[in-house]
With several copies, the nearest count.
Chain A
Amino acid sequence: MSTTREAPVDGPARADERVARVGPWRRLMVKPELGSLIGAVVILGFFSAQSDVFRSLAGVANWLDVASVLGIMAVAVALLMIGGHFDLSAGVMTGTTALTVGIVAVELQQNIWVAIAAALVLALGIGAFNGWLVTRTGLPSFIITLGTFLMLQGLNLGLTKLFTGTVIVRGIADAPGYHSAELVLASTIDVFGQPFRVAVLWWLLVTAVASWVLLRTRFGNWVFATGGDEVASRNVGVPAQRTTIVLFMTTATAAWLVGSITAVRLTSVQANTGTGQELIYIVAAVIGGCLLTGGFGSAIGAALGALIFGMTQQGIVYLNWDADWFYFFLGAMLLLAVLTNRLVRRYAEAARR
């Protein structure tokens, strides 16, 4: 029913006496991404000021490498968190896919692309299973994916030992098709003479696509809605269950990408790969402004969260701080980053709510 009704004649750009003037700088500040950008800049400044290696091209390539693999997962996990769910199996799934690539390529002697495809199918299956179980039972995803996390951890170990007799799959470099796979997933690209890992490009691509989907598509709208209030969104016709399942499959796909990169790059995979990383992904997403309760967050923020984490991790090494205190410094720097972010936003908050 969209009949013409008498609309008051006022253009959208009309000034409103109920709105105070706000500078463009402050307006920028309140975007969630820009909050974490501040954190990233503070950390970057901190370490760059103290270590010239950190700010050298080689240093940048090094910490970008750390951030990129983490970032691919963090972005996917952020989407899932915006949609209101957790995936504790995300970390171990990178191991599962890497091991699958290894086992199919080496033990079953297939072309590496076949192995990578097989790993994708497996990952999508696991993601769909997670999503199906969560939507079907209505149980918290935290507990469901904890179950799959533990089961995958067991499978990774059990199957690897079954196939190889040990806890490591080796010899992926000898699989047919390895060189093309290496080119796509594990090569380096020279920039000003400094090789950068191609994973950085993947990270940027994943962030861009995720951001586009989130902000510019119907599906993105559904993600926000499902995470914001599942009942309400179902009531207005959002396919909340489908959205949830697709989100779990998205995290699984990201895990597959990271797993394939790992397998091709290291050419050997340990059975415990990825275990324990799931928390770090969540952390990167939260640093990037995602709400744990769902319905709010950004893909770019998560990518920046991963950057903060990666820079901090490597920066501490570059400063040659005592390794015994590594975690102390890591924790302190993280708090510093989020508190700065918070402070800046408090100041800028005057610009909204």
Chain B
Amino acid sequence: MSTATDAPGGAPLLELRGIGKDFGSVIALEGISTAVRAGQVTCVLGDNGAGKSTLIKVLSGVHRPTRGELLLDGEPVDFGAPRDALDAGIATVYQDLAMIPLMSIWRNFFLGSEPTTGWGPFRRFDRATAKEVTRRELAAMGIDIRDPDQPVGTLSGGERQSVAIARAVHFGARVLILDEPTSALGVKQAAVVLRYIAQARDQGLGVVFITHNPHHAHPVGDRFLLLNRGRSMGDFAKGEVTREQLTEMMAGGDELTRLAEELGRPGGA
């Protein structure tokens, strides 16, 4: 498995060439090139507002890039809508989670990919299956929901995030994109997510993973794409960087240690 660390891991599933994105006068991305390979985890790192979410929205068909090219299996593609990306097997956990607060958990889980039963005019949403799968997938993440009929809007922040992750993992066929999936999660749930990422990678999926936590990024990442103010600061293979360097690159990652000292308290990172 460790062969994947340095080797390119085959032809890229997804490739970006000189991608740029403007929002009116705001230049959010400029000249980003990288590749997502099967069986590899690409970590996108960067400060707040660096353009990480914008980048993954380009990958998942939410935004059309203003400049540059997107290649799927080596062929140029133009995702007109997220549906196109989903149909290409790309599933995404958005930072804002893309959930409908007033709808129940199981309806949100299968939204856009509802299982059906019956035929002809009597084809209907298979509710029993949907509820059952929802409960099972969430339980696997260590989230024990009271009632799959509860509206998502009344879930806690972490519960909601777990639902979004479980959904993406369930539907991700070739590429799994996760935008700060662990931000609101407890330590236990975060570990489960990291394990999911590793599982997905082992099954040959390409994973794009955004996080601010070097402790999360380093164990699972194979490549690290560093963004700063909308531009790429480099694209490193795992072997090329240590966790310390990584933390350093993530804008003064040792601050915590220094902080702990500065505060004159025992402990620290």
Contact = CB atoms under 8 A, between A and B. Distances in A.
Interface of A: 1-3, 5-8, 10, 12, 16-22, 30, 212, 216-218, 220-222, 224-225, 228-229, 231-239, 291, 295-296, 349-353
16 contacts: A1-B169, A1-B199, A12-B131, A18-B28, A19-B26, A22-B24, A217-B124, A221-B125, A224-B102, A228-B102, A228-B103, A232-B96, A236-B112, A237-B83, A291-B102, A353-B154
B173 A1 contact: yes
| Interface-centre pick from A22, A220, A225 (highest chain B CB count, 10 A) | A225
A222 B97 CA distance: 17
A218 to B, nearest CB: 4
Contacts of B173: 1
Contacts of B132: 12
Contact of A353 (B24, B110, B112, B123): B24
Given A6-B140, A7-B136, A236-B112, A225 B27 contact: no
| Interface-centre pick from A6, A20, A212 (highest chain B CB count, 10 A) | A20
A233 B111 contact: yes
Contacts of B23: 352-353
A80 to B, nearest CB: 17
B111 A21 contact: no
Interface string B137-155: 0011010101100010010
B226 interface: no
B184 interface: no
B248 interface: no
A218 B125 contact: yes
A22 B23 CA distance: 12
Nearest to B87: A237
A8 B229 CA distance: 17
Given A18-B230, A19-B25, 7 more contacts: A1-B173, A10-B144, A12-B135, A218-B114, A225-B100, A236-B98, A350-B24
Contact of B111 (A2, A16, A238): A238
Nearest to A6: B140
A interface, by DSSP: helix, strand, loop or mixed? loop
B116 interface: yes
The 10 A-B pairs of least Cβ separation, nearest first, read A237-B112, A228-B100, A5-B140, A232-B98, A352-B24, A218-B114, A235-B98, A237-B86, A236-B112, A22-B25
Interface in B50-83: 60, 62, 81-83
Nearest to B142: A8
Contacts of A5: 140
A246 B132 CA distance: 30
B83 A225 contact: no
Contact of A218 (B116, B176, B230): B116
Interface in B142-200: 142, 144, 146-147, 151, 154, 167, 169-173, 176, 199-200
Nearest to A9: B139
B92 interface: yes
Interface string B111-139: 11110100000011101000110011001
Contacts of A233: 98, 100, 111-112
A217 B123 contact: yes
Nearest to A226: B100
B227 interface: no
A234 B61 CA distance: 10
B26 A18 contact: yes
